[in-house]
Chain A
């Protein structure tokens, strides 16, 4: 069984470009979470999705950030017009729901230059 797969592992973007981060959950998992982590800081919740639905996006910045988890394919976290402050590690996790534990991908390290 493949675990949570995130790609790319490292992403470099110039200011103003778009960043697309992909997350393929564990097979059979229908719940996906996205977290952001700045150096030396804790995980910050961004968004929680179930298939085709955003359940909680209270941690997402109001502008430039969006997330989706389509019926087919990976979950996508999209950051438009990136700025230097968006540089961080972005982790995706998936679970079966029903109170079960979540498993994390290795993260995407975004660097904005």
Chain B
């Protein structure tokens, strides 16, 4: 089983739609969780950290479920500019190593 798994997509949604991605992780010792965004041929950029209590930043909401070992990202009122690949990242407590998922591709169409 991969350490971090994501549905590769693509998710094709119209503008204004709500879309959600899940990411599962296998190591219960994971301590920190993040969502990154990567645009075509660019470097990944931090979108948001994921806290145990969940967190929201504008149209974006991230949640953590430790019992089921998954994190989620919800995007409301999708914009064309949200089209990108969204990477789930997990930090391992014992090694302090960041593990990246392979990403979920989102395409928002007019």
User: B-contacting residues of A (Cβ < 8 Å)?
Assistant: 31, 33, 35, 41-43, 45, 48, 55-56, 89, 91, 93, 95, 97-107
Contacts and interface: CB of A to CB of B under 8 A. Distances in A.
A104 B102 contact: no
Contacts of A93: 44, 98
Interface residues of B, number: 26
A104 B98 CA distance: 12
A72 B21 CA distance: 41
A31 B32 CA distance: 16
Given A103-B46, A104-B43, A107-B43, A43 B87 contact: yes
B100 A42 contact: yes
B100 A43 contact: yes
Given A99-B31, A99-B32, A101-B34, A43 B102 contact: yes
Given A101-B49, A103-B46, A45 B100 contact: yes
A37 to B, nearest CB: 9
Interface of B: 8, 31-32, 34, 38, 41-46, 49, 85, 87, 89, 91, 93, 95-103
Contacts of B102: 41-43
A100 B49 CA distance: 9
Nearest to A102: B98
B34 A45 contact: no
